[in-house]
């Protein structure tokens, strides 16, 4: 075994900028090339700072499981809107919040939420009937964003909001989170106190959200037990050791966080699946055959999902190719060793599911779409940390089962109702923004 070293390989970059311009211009292809050329740990100069890209599953395991407490999150651009929610908090505070929130995502609760998923999908498909009759193309991401937005608003707030209020709140959530996340990719960021159009719109949306969320929290505190939704769970949750409840500010932070984690990510993945199926007829035919055999045209229930293995394989392969969280960072508290390299305290380490999901040692023909990779025998023989769409270890996404259930229900409902085809002339490429969405647009046509 080679001796430990601090000489981590990587490109030199330009004076002042380092490789920042290349990382901003084409981060996906750039990071894949870095892994192929320099190996599993790459040093990236970014002006005055240095970032380390770790891509081997063993390194992922070290960072997310074996020594996870030594790798903390630090997302200053997201602090104002997400506060100290599960995505941004650390240490004992994070652990307490995770324990308080875990029951809200218990399997039985997600099963009850499936009714909302079915109802909202039915509403979407009724709208698609109009598109089919008029032969009108539509942009599938907009439809998926609206669908997942309505599902998360209803499962979060139940019947506390009218349809019009739910739509307004959903749009404000979406606009605010996308605007804040987009600031991470700008070289020049005007202070948020400046009255720019973006800052003013963000401030209006944030004020609307906080007004609404705090009002609903206050109403639930005054009349507990009248609702069966995520907000009720957050309001009534108590610490098992102290009996303490979350403060209104803590609840507000988790509401914002759940919406971020449970909305755009799922919409993007569903959009990718539709796009891929329009270009892989054999996969679509296998799906339809499985649906016909198990469902016979009816809507799926949570009990049906284990009997639809190919449905899940298609979702897993899509998440492999296009993981919504395409990059994330951690900051080292104390020095650590990754592979044969030593990293200092304070180092920023980036993980990229997008790159790890293309590691040639674990994914042959990695750019091809092949759901058969997720047959049980093949999946069980693969390195556990080679596939991390929801990350892994103690900080794995708390809503992963919610998202997977939602996608496994929505997809058969769509394909049992409609034939879908891509509109020619609109090439689709990954758009590495806040999440990895297909773009710039995914235009499709449907027929019954």
Q: Which residue has the higher pLDDT, 435 or 30?
A: 30
pLDDT at 159 (0 to 100): 76
Q: How far apart are CA 308 and CA 291, in angstroms?
A: 7
Average pLDDT in the chain: 92
pLDDT of residue 187 exceeding 60: no
Strand ranges in 243-357 using DSSP code E only, listed in sequence order: 328-332, 336-338, 341-343, 348-351
| pLDDT over 90 at 371, yes or no | yes
Helix (H, G, I), strand (E, B) or coil at 275: helix
pLDDT at 185 over 70: no
104 band by pLDDT with thresholds 50, 70 and 90: confident
* Structure-token pair, residue 390: 């929801």
What is the pTM for the complete model shown? 0.94
What does the pLDDT read at residue 4?
A: 67
pLDDT of residue 49: 87
For residue 184, what pLDDT band results from cuts at 50, 70 and 90? low
Do residues 234 and 101 touch, judged by C-beta distance below 8 A? yes
Check: CB of residue 272 under 8 Å from CB of residue 411: no
pLDDT band at 14 (very low <50, low <70, confident <90, very high): confident
* Tens of pLDDT, residues 284-298: 999 999 999 999 999
For domain 91-325+389-436, the CATH superfamily is Cytochrome P450 (1.10.630.10)
pLDDT at 80: 81
CA-to-CA distance for 41 and 338, rounded, in angstroms? 8
Strand order in the sheet with 138-139: 138-139, 443-447, 419-422
Residue 360 pLDDT: 97
Tell which phi-psi region holds residue 243, choosing left (phi > 0), alpha (psi between -120 and 50) or beta: left
Look at residue 183 in the predicted model and tell me its pLDDT: 64
Kind of pairing, strands 443-447 and 336-338? Answer: unpaired
Residues 381/407/61/434 CA torsion (nearest 10 deg): 140
The pLDDT score that the predictor gives to residue 357 is: 98
Tell me which of 175-189, 217-231, 309-323, 421-435 is least confident: 175-189
Query: Does 182 score more than 70 pLDDT?
Result: no
| 330 strand-pairing partners | 349
In DSSP terms, 416 is beta-bridged to: none
pLDDT given for residue 164 in this prediction: 85
What is residue 193's predicted lDDT score, i.e. its pLDDT?
Answer: 74
Question: In angstroms, how far is CA 178 from the centroid of its own chain?
Answer: 13
Q: Which residue has the tokens 């009724």?
A: 126
Q: Between these two residues, 446 and 164, which has the higher pLDDT value?
A: 446
Mean pLDDT of 66-82: 88
Is residue 346 predicted with pLDDT exceeding 80? yes
In this structure, the strands spanning 49-54 and 348-351 are: parallel
Beta carbons of 316 and 408 less than 8 angstroms apart: no
Mean pLDDT along residues 68-83? 87
* Distance from C-alpha of 424 to C-alpha of 430, rounded to nearest angstrom: 18
- The answer, yes or no, to whether residue 147 has pLDDT greater than 70, is yes
Tokens of 20: 């920042």
**What residues does 45 pair with on adjacent strands?**
50
pLDDT greater than 70 at residue 188: no
Can you give the pLDDT at residue 2?
57
Residues contacting 171, CB < 8 A, separation 6+: 149
What digits encode the pLDDT tens for the residues 189-243? 677 778 788 889 989 999 998 999 899 999 899 888 888 889 999 999 988 888 8
C-alpha span between 65 and 331 (Å, rounded) = 15
CA dist 376 → 364, 372, 380, 382 (Å):
17, 9, 6, 10
Domain with CATH 3.30.43.20 in the chain: 1-84+328-359
CATH top class, domain 1-84+328-359: alpha beta
Quickly tell me which residue has 């075994």 as its tokens.
Answer: 1
User: Does the pLDDT at position 3 exceed 70?
Assistant: no
| Span 423-448, pLDDT tens digits | 999 999 999 987 899 999 999 999 98
> pLDDT band at 375, cuts 50/70/90?
very high
């Amino acid at each position: 075994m080679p001796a430990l070293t601090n000489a981590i390989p990587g490109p030199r970059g330009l004076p002042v900028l380092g490789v920042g311009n290349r990382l901003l211009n084409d981060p996906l292809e750039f990071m894949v090339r870095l892994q192929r050329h320099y190996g599993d740990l790459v040093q990236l100069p970014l002006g005055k700072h240095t970032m380390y890209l770790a891509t081997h599953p063993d390194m992922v395991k070290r960072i997310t499981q074996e020594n996870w407490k030594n790798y903390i999150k630090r997302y200053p651009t997201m602090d104002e809107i997400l506060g100290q929610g599960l995505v941004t908090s650390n240490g004992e505070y994070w652990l307490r919040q995770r324990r308080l929130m875990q029951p809200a995502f218990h399997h039985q609760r997600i099963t009850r939420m499936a009714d909302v998923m079915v109802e909202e999908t039915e509403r979407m498909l009724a709208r698609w009937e109009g598109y089919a009759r008029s032969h009108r193309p539509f942009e599938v991401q907009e439809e998926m964003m609206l669908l997942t937005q309505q599902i998360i608003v209803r499962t979060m707030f139940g019947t506390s909001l009218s349809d019009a209020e739910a739509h307004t709140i959903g749009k404000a959530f979406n606009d605010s989170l996308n605007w804040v996340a987009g600031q991470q990719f700008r070289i020049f960021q005007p202070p948020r106190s400046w009255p720019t159009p973006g800052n003013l719109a963000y401030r209006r949306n944030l004020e609307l959200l906080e007004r609404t969320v705090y009002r609903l929290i206050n109403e639930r505190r005054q009349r507990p037990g009248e609702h069966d939704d995520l907000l009720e769970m957050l309001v009534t949750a108590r610490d098992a050791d102290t009996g303490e409840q979350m403060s209104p500010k803590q609840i507000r932070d988790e509401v914002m966080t759940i919406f971020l984690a449970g909305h755009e990510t799922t919409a993007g993945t569903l959009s990718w699946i539709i796009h891929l199926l329009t270009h892989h007829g054999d996969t679509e035919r296998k799906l339809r055959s499985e649906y016909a055999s198990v469902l016979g045209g009816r809507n799926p229930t949570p009990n049906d999902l284990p009997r639809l293995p190919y449905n899940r394989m298609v979702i897993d392969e899509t998440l492999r190719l296009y993981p919504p969280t395409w990059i994330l960072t951690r900051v080292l508290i104390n020095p650590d060793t990754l592979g044969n390299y030593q990293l200092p305290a304070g180092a920023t380490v980036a993980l990229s599911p997008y790159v790890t999901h293309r590691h040639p040692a674990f994914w042959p023909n990695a750019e091809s779409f092949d759901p058969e990779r997720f047959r049980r025998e093949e999946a069980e023989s693969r390195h556990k940390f080679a596939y991390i769409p929801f990350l892994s270890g103690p900080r794995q996404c708390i809503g992963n089962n919610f998202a997977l259930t939602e996608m496994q229900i929505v997809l058969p409902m769509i394909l049992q109702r409609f034939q879908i085809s891509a509109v020619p002339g609109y090439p689709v490429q990954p758009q590495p923004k806040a999440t990895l969405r297909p773009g710039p647009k995914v235009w499709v046509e449907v027929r019954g």
